[in-house]
């Protein structure tokens, strides 16, 4: 009887250990891996500078704009905040693309569509964004590089199509205005295109 009792106890212990391992395996399998960069608290910062590539193809006022060679003189990084991302890149022709995307769920999943353009908000609201919205502008110099023209999207949508640790893909389409020009918002013009950034460098400002 003692031998049978001991065998029974050992079988119960083995059964409990196996059950714990099965639960741990199931829990691990159910965990969904996010493709969005983790916060700096969860992941050590990689200080190795990546060789970023960028491709901007846009149509503004019936004219084509291409940006694909980054000027190394500028510190081009993607800045991550708690509820928005910011990117700014300047090419060797001194053309610049600037994008701000505001959304409390920006790190959860893609695609994300932004139909609220920050330029349409009153100045006080632009200074302290509390809505889901976007700001997208492209700066262009003339052929002689003597003057600068900034076009900003005013109506339409910006779509964050892909956002992983290695790639950001953005498309936009609508109407824009010329920044710094009187009555510019009453003289809108077509703006559309896409932005692809690969192997980008990050400054993580999230808390």
pLDDT tens-digit series, residues 105-135: 999 999 999 999 999 999 889 888 889 999 9
* Count of residues in the chain: 207
Among candidate residues 203, 201, 198, the one with its CA nearest the CA of residue 56: 198
Helix, strand, or coil here: 102?
strand
Helix (H) or strand (E) segment spanning residue 170: strand 167-178
Furthest CA-CA distance within the chain: 100
Cβ(79)–Cβ(129) below 8 Å? no
Span 24-83, pLDDT tens digits:
444 433 333 345 555 544 455 556 788 999 999 999 998 999 999 999 999 899 999 999
Query: Token pair of 98, please?
Result: 């600037």
- The rounded mean pLDDT for the chain is 82
Q: Report pTM.
A: 0.77
Say how far apart CA 78 and CA 56 lie, in whole Å: 15
Say how far apart CA 57 and CA 45 lie, in whole Å: 31
Say how far apart CA 124 and CA 101 lie, in whole Å: 18
Among candidate residues 159, 188, 156, the one with its CA nearest the CA of residue 174: 156
């Amino acid at each position: 009887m003692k031998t049978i009792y001991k065998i029974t106890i050992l079988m119960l212990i083995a059964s409990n250990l196996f059950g714990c391992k099965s639960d741990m395996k199931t829990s691990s399998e159910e965990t969904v891996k996010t493709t969005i960069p983790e916060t700096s608290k969860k992941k050590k910062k990689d200080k190795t500078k990546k060789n970023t590539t960028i491709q901007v193809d846009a149509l503004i006022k019936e004219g084509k704009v291409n940006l694909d060679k980054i000027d190394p003189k500028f510190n081009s990084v993607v800045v991550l905040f708690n509820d928005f991302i910011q990117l700014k890149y300047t090419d060797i022709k001194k053309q610049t693309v600037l994008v701000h995307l505001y959304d409390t769920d920006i790190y959860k999943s893609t695609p994300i569509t932004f139909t609220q353009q920050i330029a349409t908000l009153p100045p006080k609201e632009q200074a302290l964004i509390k809505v889901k919205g976007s700001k997208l502008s492209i700066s262009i110099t003339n052929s002689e590089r003597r003057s600068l023209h900034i076009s900003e999207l005013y109506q339409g949508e910006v779509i964050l199509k892909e956002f992983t640790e290695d790639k950001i893909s953005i498309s936009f389409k609508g109407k824009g205005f010329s920044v710094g020009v009187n009555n510019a918002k009453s003289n809108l013009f077509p703006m559309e295109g896409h932005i692809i950034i690969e192997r980008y460098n990050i400054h993580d400002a999230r808390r």
